[in-house]
């Protein structure tokens, strides 16, 4: 019997979908699923939701729920992590403080000033989890879904011996979107995708072995509804010649081109899915509403219709390949760059094809990115490296320097303005940053 532990099981929709996928594999029909969350109420809803899946599918797996991490990890063969560190009050400062200085961030969970401070809050907890895995279940395969993906995976892979990778649904999700745009069945599509998390590119994208990029360019250029569906990403494709994985809202804040002036935000980020500057306000309202109506929301999610069909998230397929029946599975994962992408920093965290098997997780050499892509991605990777070093050493100067070179921040602010902004963000986060002794 295999044991799979879900850390942060209170992320209910994620937990429901991943458990559903896992139970579709015969290798896990009698497994133990252990749900862990520090919030007992959320954990209870997750347990009920998973029990409903068990009943609907007539599965024989054993389901446990606990708030004790040692208990949850004891005997685990696989671990999934979907946690969020920090409360609404500190999370909103990630967006509101940069906004006050003119850095208009849309999501803020990946990189830039918002992503870096989210990383600094999250990394002590993630390292504690990894240390527990090393001590309690050292042979377990650890799959991380927690953002900021690249900085967290880079830290955990560099500082621990845990077998782990980070997963994001944007690669397969965008591939399916492009197939829809050109009218291709997804089973006839193949691609090679590489870069860093949320800024990886399809280096090739083929339909039945033939280059499909001309079809994509034709669709983006000549069909207004397709152009408007992803304005930022389509602009990047039309000018950089390769399509990027993560959504327009995310990508609008990763570079210097779309959010540095109000007129650019109006042109590219207000219509379609480009990341309306009012989107953050709606997200805050949604979260506050959910806090006020938590029981009602949880009951709705818990009792929503159960679809037992396997989804497209990678986690269950990887577990099946590594600790299940051994069927090989290729996916895009976040791993350290040791001879994988030739013109990105050695040792940084990259997102590349990986083969999962009983031998573990084996990343595939991709080669160099095209020059125009490397010029975009390399500074992002270097900023992440600097932020990781600052997080590990508790050096606020390195954090400041990492923010200095963020493309959007540097397009908007002077160095002195960036320093003032970073100091204010440190002050807002001081209760969450035990690794920093001082901020100046």
**CA distance linking residue 292 with residue 248, whole number of Å:** 30
**CA distance linking residue 32 with residue 347, whole number of Å:** 36
User: Binding site residues, as ranges?
Assistant: 147, 168, 198
Alpha carbon 390 to chain centroid distance? Answer: 21
Judge whether 110 and 122 are in contact, CB under 8 Å.
Answer: no
Pinpoint the alpha helices (H) of 324-435. 371-393, 396-404, 407-412, 415-429
Residue 349 forms beta bridges with which residues? 336
Among the listed residues 58, 169, 239, 438, the single catalytic one is 169
Structure tokens given for 35: 């749900």
Does 58 participate in catalysis according to the annotation? Answer: no
Rg (CA), the chain: 21
Q: Which 8-state DSSP code applies to residue 244?
A: B
> Residue 219: which of 229, 232, 209 has the closest Cα?
229
The number of C-alpha atoms within 13 Å of 143 and in the hemisphere containing its C-beta is 29
Pairing, β 349-357 against β 329-336: antiparallel
User: Binding site residues for Mn(2+), as ranges?
Assistant: 168, 198
CB atoms within 10 A of CB 210: 8
Structure tokens given for 289: 């509403």
Q: Which 8-state DSSP code applies to residue 430?
A: G
The CA-atom distances, in angstroms, between 94 and each of 91, 191, 258, 345 are 5, 35, 19, 27
User: Binding site residues for substrate, as ranges?
Assistant: 147
Beta strand ranges found along 283-400 (DSSP E)? 329-336, 349-357, 360-363
Show which residues are catalytic.
169
């Amino acid at each position: 019997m295999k044991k799979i532990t879900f850390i942060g099981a209170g992320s209910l929709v994620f937990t429901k979908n991943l458990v559903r996928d896992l139970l579709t594999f015969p290798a896990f029909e009698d497994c133990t699923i252990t749900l862990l969350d520090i919030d007992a109420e959320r954990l209870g809803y997750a347990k009920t939701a998973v029990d409903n899946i068990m009943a609907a599918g007539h599965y024989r797996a054993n389901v446990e729920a606990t708030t004790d991490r040692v208990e949850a990890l004891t005997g685990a063969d696989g671990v999934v992590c979907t946690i969020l560190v920090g409360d609404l009050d500190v999370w909103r400062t990630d967006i509101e403080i940069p906004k006050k200085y003119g850095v208009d961030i849309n999501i803020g969970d990946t990189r830039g000033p918002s992503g870096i401070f989210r990383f600094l809050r999250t990394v002590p907890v993630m390292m504690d989890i990894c240390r527990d895995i090393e001590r309690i279940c050292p042979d377990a395969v650890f799959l991380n879904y927690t953002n900021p993906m690249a900085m967290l995976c880079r830290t955990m892979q560099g500082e621990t011996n845990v077998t782990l990778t980070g997963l994001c649904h944007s690669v397969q999700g965008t591939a399916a979107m492009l197939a829809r745009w050109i009218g291709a069945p997804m089973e006839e599509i193949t691609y090679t995708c590489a870069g860093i998390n949320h800024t990886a590119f399809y280096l090739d994208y083929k339909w039945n072995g033939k280059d499909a990029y001309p079809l994509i360019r034709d669709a983006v250029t000549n069909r207004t509804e397709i152009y408007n569906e992803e304005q930022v990403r389509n602009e990047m494709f039309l000018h950089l010649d390769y399509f990027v994985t993560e959504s327009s809202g995310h990508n609008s804040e990763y570079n210097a081109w779309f959010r540095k002036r109000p007129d650019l935000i109006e042109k590219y980020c207000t219509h379609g899915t480009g990341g309306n500057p009012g989107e953050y306000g709606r997200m805050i309202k949604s979260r506050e509403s959910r806090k006020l109506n938590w029981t009602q929301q949880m009951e709705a999610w818990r009792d929503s219709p159960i679809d037992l069909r396997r989804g497209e998230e990678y986690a269950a397929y990887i577990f099946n390949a590594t600790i299940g029946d051994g069927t090989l599975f290729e996916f895009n994962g976040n791993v350290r760059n040791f001879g994988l992408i030739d013109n990105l920093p050695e040792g940084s965290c990259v997102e590349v094809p990986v083969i999962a098997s009983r031998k573990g997780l084996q990343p595939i050499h991709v080669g160099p990115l095209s020059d125009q892509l490397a010029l975009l991605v390399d500074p992002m990777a270097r900023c992440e490296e600097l932020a990781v070093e600052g997080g590990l050493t508790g050096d606020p100067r390195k954090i400041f320097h990492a923010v200095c070179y963020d493309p959007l921040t540097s397009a908007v602010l002077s160095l002195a303005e960036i320093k003032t902004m970073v100091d204010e963000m440190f002050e807002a986060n001081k209760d969450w940053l035990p690794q920093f002794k001082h901020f100046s």
